[in-house]
Amino acid sequence: MRLVVNIPTYNEKDNIEELITKILSQAKFMPQIDLHVLVADSHSPDGTDQIVKRITRTNPKVHYLDVKQRGLGVGIIKGHRFAIGRLKADILAQMDGDLSHDPSTLPKMVGFINDGYDLVNGSRLTKGGKNLLGWHRRLFTKGSSLYCKLSWGTFRLSEYTNSYRVFTKKLFEKIDINKIPWRAKTYIIQPAFLYAAMTSGAKIKEVPITFVDRKKGYSKAKIIAYTIDVIKFGIKARLQKSKMLIKFLTVGAVSYFLNAIALGLLNRGQIYALTVFAKPLLSMIPETGAPKLFFLILDRLFVASLISIELSIVFNFIFHENWTFKERSHKGFVLLRFLKFNLTSIISPVIQLASILIFVRVLHLHEQIGLATGVLVGLVFNYLANILWIWKAPPSKLT
C-alpha cells in the first residue's frame, strides 16, 4: 500500500529538509508500506521550493507541488488530490512543515489504519499527549476543543484543531469537499475536515502526540481570526444538527392541528369551540351506551380518536419522507418505511388515546387537553424512533 505524507508549506526553508529526512526514516518501521512525501507549497518566496526540487531530483520518494495560492486548506486539499490522482496513494497523511509534529508517531497511526480505522487523529489533549506551545496557544486548543464538543454535540474526541492526521483514500473521496471551507485563510480546515469525517460515519481513533513549538521560522497562525472562524463553524454545525429537529417539530405542530381539527369535527362537529357542522361527522356512532371490546368502549370519541390519529400518521410520514429526513438514508421500499413508521407510531397514538380518555373520563376535562398532553409525551419517543430506525444516519465510530 502506498502512503503519501502531505506537508503544506509556506516559507519553511529552515525546516523542510530535516522534516523530509525524518519522515522517510520511518519507512523501516513500515515494511509493507510504500512511503512517499509530498510538499504542497503555497508559492513560498523564501526558496522552500528550490530545496524540495533539489531533493526530488535524487529521491523518487519525494514530490513537489506548487499550489500557488496561500492557505493551509488549499495546500491540504490540493495536495491530497494530487496524492490520489498522480501518486496513486492508498493512505493519506498530513503534518505541519515546521517540525512541530513528530514523524516517529507515524508508524503507530498507520498501524491503526491497517486495523480498520478510517481516520487516526493525533491529539495533544488525550492521555499521554503534550502541548508544548505558549499559554495562549494552549488556551486556544483547550477552549476550541470544549467549544467544538458543545456545538457539535460530540464528546468522545479530545482534539479538534490539530493537523497531524492519517486517513484512507476512501474516506477522503467520500467527503464532499465543497462543503468544507478549505479556501479560508485561517486553519479552519482542520476542525471542518474532522467534522465532515465524523458526519460521514468514519471510524476514528485518537493517538497521543507531543506538539512542540517551531525552532526556526515563524508561525502563520492568526489566533483571533482562527477563533472567530471556529465559532462561526460551530454555530453552522449546531444549526445543521438542529435543522432536522426544527423540521420535525414543525411537521409535528402542523400534524397536531390536523389531528385536533379532525377529532373535533368527527366527535363534536366543532373546531375547538367553533361550531362548523350542526352535528358531528360520526353522529351515527353513539356517544353513550356504545358496545365494549374487552375494556375499550367503542363510542364516538374512541373511533374519532383513532381516525384523527391515523390521519396525522399519514401526514407525518409524507412530510418526514420528503422533507424532514430527506437527506438521510432511504434504503428499501417506501412502503416498508411506511409500515415501519406505523409500527413505531403505535406507541405514540396509544399514549395520545390513553391521554384523551384519561382527561375526559377520569379528570372530566376537554378532549383537546388530553390530545395536547399525549402529543407532547409521544413526541420524544417518535423522534428517537425515526432517527434511530427508519431514517438512520451512519453513526461516527470514535474510539
142, burial (CB in 10 Å: exposed 0-12, middle 13-18, buried 19+): middle
Alpha-carbon distance of 32 to 61, in angstroms, equals: 15
Alpha-carbon distance of 291 to 277, in angstroms, equals: 26
User: Is 227 part of any domain?
Assistant: no
179 and 255 belong to one structural domain: no
213 and 348 belong to one structural domain: no
215 and 249 belong to one structural domain: no
pLDDT of the residue at 397: 57
45 and 153 belong to one structural domain: yes
With a CB cutoff of 8 Å and minimum separation 6, the contacts of 127 are 208
- Tell me the CATH number at 125: 3.90.550.10
Residue count of the chain, please give it. 399
211 and 260 belong to one structural domain: no
Backbone angles phi, psi at 116, to 5 degrees: 115, 0
108 and 138 belong to one structural domain: yes
Residue 321: alpha-carbon gap to chain centroid: 20
User: Is 206 part of any domain?
Assistant: yes
Q: Are the C-beta atoms of residues 65 and 33 closer than 8 Å to each other?
A: no
Phi-psi region of 272 (alpha: psi -120 to 50; beta: other; left: phi over 0): left
Domain of 131, in residue numbers: 2-221
167 and 263 belong to one structural domain: no
Instruction: Say what the pTM is.
Output: 0.69
Digit-by-digit pLDDT tens for the chain (399 residues) are 999 999 999 999 999 999 999 999 999 999 999 999 999 999 899 999 999 999 999 999 999 999 988 888 999 999 999 999 999 999 999 999 999 999 999 999 999 999 999 999 999 999 999 999 888 889 999 999 999 998 888 888 999 999 999 999 999 999 999 889 998 888 999 999 999 999 888 999 999 999 998 766 555 557 888 999 999 999 988 888 788 888 888 998 999 899 999 999 999 999 988 999 999 999 999 988 888 877 778 899 999 999 998 899 899 999 998 998 887 767 778 888 888 888 877 777 788 788 888 888 888 888 888 888 887 777 777 777 777 778 776 555 555
* Overall number of domains in the chain: 2
190 and 254 belong to one structural domain: no
In which residue are the cell numbers 492557505 written? Answer: 71
156 and 190 belong to one structural domain: yes
Alpha-carbon distance of 327 to 177, in angstroms, equals: 17
Among 161, 146, 159, 137, which residue's Cα sits nearest to residue 212? 137
Read off the pLDDT of residues 272-287 as tens digits, 9 standing for 90 and up: 889 999 999 999 999 8
